[in-house]
Amino acid sequence: MHKNYRITAGRLVQVQDDPAHISVFVSPDEEEKKYLVTELKIDEHTLSSALDPDELSRLEFEPEHMAVIFKRPKSYLGGPHFELGIGSTGAFLFKKQLVIVLSEDVPILDHLMNTRVTSIANIFLRMIYRAIFHYLEHLKVINKISDELQDKINSSMENKYLINLFELQKSMVYYLSSINGNTALIEKMKHNVAKTDFTQEDVEFLDDIYVENNQCYKQAEMLSNILSSLMDARASIVSNNLNILMKMLNLITIGIMVPTLVVSAFSMNVKIPIQDHPYAFWIIIGLAATSVAGLVVYLRIKKW
């Protein structure tokens, strides 16, 4: 799928024909790949990397353009699992054109449709900034989900909540790796500003992006450490809940066995001392009740 955009009167507008200032290719077919490689001179390996979700962030300078691959979080659509994915975005910045390559259709430019834009480079930098903001939004969601799972784990012995917590922790490992990769990418861009057509305003914006990305990484690292430290604690809580339940079941079993033993002793098919007593039944019931009361007193003394 191919979309074209133009900058008109400081606004980003989607158009149907060429030439366009921004071209977005979503899962390009063979014909579109041939156009990107042959006409725009985009390296075929770099193009394939832009479609690979496991590709690392990187920056390369070609004779006619700057090739950038950066990581962004995939949109979370809900469901029984909480594993969050990471996607790759390829951006190829020419002097008069920006080409974006995606493996899936995501609204990567929608947030700019009603915003004033100044240049192609500005749009390129805002895409990276939007990815950082998207990470921060996901971190808030992860923190909220972890609090909900914590409450459920405290009152439940089911493994699914621990599994969900593990999936969040696993996602945080990927988040830290991708955010750190973006940090290296932004640092390299800062060190190679002379090779770009960035204005002074763009360079200052790039500095702001660098600061925001570092803060995002620190927040993700803190949340990852919290989730990691909570895993053992949550497992211990589940184990403790199980121990408490087993203890209660044992106490109930003992509480039933003691009066049963008394009654069974007087139910044997042999001659017993009080079998002719008019109140034999009530005496036996009283002994059974007394044994239960004695057991309760004993357990209270032992604080069981």
Q: Which of 61, 41, 129 is nearest to 89 (CA)?
A: 129
Highest mean pLDDT among 41-55, 63-77, 143-157, 217-231: 41-55
Please check whether residues 168 and 296 belong to one and the same domain: no
Please check whether residues 227 and 271 belong to one and the same domain: no
Number of domains in the chain: 2
Owner of token pair 């609090």: 147
Please check whether residues 78 and 153 belong to one and the same domain: yes
Please check whether residues 202 and 278 belong to one and the same domain: no
Decide: residue 170, CB within 10 A, 0-12 exposed, 13-18 middle, 19+ buried.
middle
Q: Which domain holds residue 278?
A: 242-302
Please check whether residues 193 and 283 belong to one and the same domain: no
Q: What is the pLDDT of residues 239-267, one digit of tens each?
A: 777 788 888 888 788 778 878 877 777 77
Q: What is the pLDDT of residues 3-15, one digit of tens each?
A: 888 888 888 888 8
Q: Are 185 and 90 in contact (CB under 8 A)?
A: no
DSSP H helices in 20-89? 30-38, 44-50
> Could you tell me the pLDDT band of residue 80, with boundaries at 50, 70 and 90?
low
The CATH number assigned to the domain holding 227 equals: 3.30.460.20
pLDDT at 133: 92
Please check whether residues 174 and 203 belong to one and the same domain: yes
Asked whether residue 154 carries a pLDDT value surpassing 80, the answer given is no
DSSP string, 73-121: EPPP---S-----EEEEEEEE-SS-EEEEESS---SSGGGTTS----HH
